[in-house]
Amino acid sequence: MQGSGRRWKGGYALLSLIGLALIVWGYGLARQATVVLYTTPTWTRHLAALLTLGAFVLVAAAYVPQTRIKARVRHPMVAGVTVWAFAHLLANGTLADVILFGSFLAWAILNYSAAVRRDREKNVGYVIGPMSRDVTAVAIGAVTWVVFTFWLHGWLIGVQPLGNLLQALAPAL
């Protein structure tokens, strides 16, 4: 890659990180003035946790080459964002949540639709490798989900999605 291409990608990545930081900061501020739009039953949090497991696997499949998952879904990263955003809308009913996750959901649906349409127009196909690629994607996604759900989500976001489930299970393990 030429120097100008690297600079452009570096600048784009930097602006993306700044944008993400501003989203996180703004969401944190918006959560301080809670406006409840709907109340979610407890089971929706459990369903959201299960759905986000699938989202993590989809995102992992985007980076593992030649998976059946990628061949079937075509754009697993965007599909993962779709599932992630939908899951969070199921479990969270504040105005800040609806704006943040609803925006991500709308973006992901539109992006996925455009990407699939573009693939069809260009007759894009996906090579399928050995089943070990899919096993790798599922394993990476599942391990990442466990780490994020039980440790990082609480530390980074301030909310433990499954409460103290890990601590409750610790004596049994």
Tokens of 173: 């393990």
pLDDT-derived band of residue 165, with 50, 70 and 90 as boundaries?
Answer: low
User: Please, which residues have CB within 8 angstroms of residue 146's CB and are 6 or more apart in sequence?
Assistant: none
Q: How far is CA 71 from CA 64, 67, 118, 133, 167, in A?
A: 11, 6, 15, 12, 39
Q: Apex CA 87: angle with CA 27 and CA 148, to 5°?
A: 70
The tens digit of pLDDT for each residue in 3-28 reads 778 899 999 999 999 999 999 889 88
Give me the mean pLDDT over the 26-45 stretch. Answer: 90
Judge residue 84's burial from the number of C-beta atoms within 10 Å of its C-beta, 0-12 exposed, 13-18 middle, 19 or more buried: buried
Percentage of the chain modeled with pLDDT above 90 = 71
Q: Give 66-122 pLDDT, tens digit per residue.
A: 999 999 999 999 999 999 999 999 999 999 999 999 999 999 999 999 999 999 999
